[in-house]
C-alpha cells in the first residue's frame, strides 16, 4: 500500500478519483460526489508502489472558518472518504483518517486556532454508518447540495442592489472565472455578502447572507439573481455550467429561496463530529 498526500491532483488522478466514486455509487445507493479541485488536501491509496497501479481509496479534507468575522479562531475540518467496495476492511480508511487527523493538528498549530473535525457522509451508505458507529462519531447536522444550470435569460437580469467585488478576481473570461467575495449594497450601505469558487464544470456559491434588518423584503432573491447574472456573463451562459450551493437542512428560508430561483436538491449530506 502507498499513501500519497497532495493538494493538486493530476489529470490521471482526477480520472481515477471519479472512477472510484462511480464504483462506490454503483455498490451503494449514494449520491455523494468526490471533488477534484485544487486547494483541498487529498490522500490517495494505491495498491503498489507507483500511481500506475489501481487507486483503492481516496479521502479529502477542507478547512472552513466557522465565523467569517473571526476566521482565525475556530475552523471546521470537513472530511470524507471513498474506499473501493472490493477493498474495504483492509485498513485503508484508518490509514487515511490518521493522516488527516495529523494534518488537522498541524493546521491548528500553524493557524493558532481550534478545529472541529467532522465527517461528511451520505446517510444511504450502510458501510459509512457502520464506520461512524465504530469510531463514535456524533451526529451534528444535515445539509443539502443544490444545483442550477445557467439559463439564457440570466445574463440580462439587472439587480436593484449594487454588487461589487470585495477581494474577488473579476476577470470576465472563461479562462479567468469569477472567484472571491462580493458585496451587495443598497443606498450606499452593504446589506449582504456572497463568495464564489470555481469548480469543475461550474461555480460553487457560498457564504451567501443578507443582514437581518433587510430580510423578507426580496433583497436576497435580487442579490442571488444578480450573482447568477455575473456568473452567466463570465461563463457565456454555457448550459453545461452549473452553479452549486450547500444549505443546512434546518435553514428552510434559504432552501426555499434557492428553490424559487431554480435550484434543485441533488445530494443529502450529513455531518458527524469526531
CATH number at residue 236: 3.40.630.30
Shared domain for 65 and 12, answered yes or no, is yes
pTM for the full predicted model: 0.68
30 part of a folded domain: yes
Residues 123 and 169 in one domain: no
Sign of the torsion formed by the C-alpha atoms of 15, 16, 21 and 23: positive
Identify whether 62 is part of a domain.
Answer: yes
Same-domain status, 10 and 117: yes
User: CA-CA distances (angstroms) from residue 80 to 65, 128, 174, 185?
Assistant: 18, 10, 30, 37
Q: Are residues 198 and 179 in contact, defined by beta-carbon separation less than 8 angstroms?
A: yes
Looking at the structure, do residues 130 and 152 belong to the same domain, yes or no? Answer: no
Q: Which of 101, 136, 171 is the last residue of a domain?
A: 136
* Residues 224, 119 share a domain: no
Range of the domain at 16: 2-136
Q: How many CA atoms lie within 13 A of 117 on its CB side?
A: 20
Number of structural domains (the chain) is: 2
Q: Specify whether 12 is located in the same domain as 114.
A: yes
Q: How far apart are CA 44 and CA 58, in angstroms?
A: 4
> Both 14 and 126 in a single domain?
yes
Do residues 184 and 246 share a domain?
Answer: yes
Query: Do residues 7 and 127 share a domain?
Result: yes
End-to-end, the C-alpha distance of the chain in Å comes to 26
Statement to judge: residues 105 and 161 lie in one domain: no
pLDDT digits (tens), the chain, 274 positions: 899 999 999 999 999 999 999 999 999 988 888 889 888 999 999 987 555 678 999 999 999 887 765 556 889 999 999 999 999 999 999 999 999 999 999 999 998 999 999 998 888 888 888 999 999 999 998 888 899 999 888 989 999 999 998 865 444 433 456 788 999 999 999 999 999 988 878 899 998 999 999 988 999 999 999 999 999 988 765 667 899 998 988 788 898 999 999 999 888 889 999 9
Question: Which residues are registered as beta bridge partners of 120?
Answer: 271
Residue pair 223/194 in contact (Cβ under 8 Å)? The answer is yes
Answer whether residue 272 is part of any domain: no
Same domain, 159 and 225: yes
On whether residue 214 sits in a domain, the answer given is yes
For residues 38 and 100, state if they share a domain: yes
Domain contains 64: yes
Amino acid at each position: 500500500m502507498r499513501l500519497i498526500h497532495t493538494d493538486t491532483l493530476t489529470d490521471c488522478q482526477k480520472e481515477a478519483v471519479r472512477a472510484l466514486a462511480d464504483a462506490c455509487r454503483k455498490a451503494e445507493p449514494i449520491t455523494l460526489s468526490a471533488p477534484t479541485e485544487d486547494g483541498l488536501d487529498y490522500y490517495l491509496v494505491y495498491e503498489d508502489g507507483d500511481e500506475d497501479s489501481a487507486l483503492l481509496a481516496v479521502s479529502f479534507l477542507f478547512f472552513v472558518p466557522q465565523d467569517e468575522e473571526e476566521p482565525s479562531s475556530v475552523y471546521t475540518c470537513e472530511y470524507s472518504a471513498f474506499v473501493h467496495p472490493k477493498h474495504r476492511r483492509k485498513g485503508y480508511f484508518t490509514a487515511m483518517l490518521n493522516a488527516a487527523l495529523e494534518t488537522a493538528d498541524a493546521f491548528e498549530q500553524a493557524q493558532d486556532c481550534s478545529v472541529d473535525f467532522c465527517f461528511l457522509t451520505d446517510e444511504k451508505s450502510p458501510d459509512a454508518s457502520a464506520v461512524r458507529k465504530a469510531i463514535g462519531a456524533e451526529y451534528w447536522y444535515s445539509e443539502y447540495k443544490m444545483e442550477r444550470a445557467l439559463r439564457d435569460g440570466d445574463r440580462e437580469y439587472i439587480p436593484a442592489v449594487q454588487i461589487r467585488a470585495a477581494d474577488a478576481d473579476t476577470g470576465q473570461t472563461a479562462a479567468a472565472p469569477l472567484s472571491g467575495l462580493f458585496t451587495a449594497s443598497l443606498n450606499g450601505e452593504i446589506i449582504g455578502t456572497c463568495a464564489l469558487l470555481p469548480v469543475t464544470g461550474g461555480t460553487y456559491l457560498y457564504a451567501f447572507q443578507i443582514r437581518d434588518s433587510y430580510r423578507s423584503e426580496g433583497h436576497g432573491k435580487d442579490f442571488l439573481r444578480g450573482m447568477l447574472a455575473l456568473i452567466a456573463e463570465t461563463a457565456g451562459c454555457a448550459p453545461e455550467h452549473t452553479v452549486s450551493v450547500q444549505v443546512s437542512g434546518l435553514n428552510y428560508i434559504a432552501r426555499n429561496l434557492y428553490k424559487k430561483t431554480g435550484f434543485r436538491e441533488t445530494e443529502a449530506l450529513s455531518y458527524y463530529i469526531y
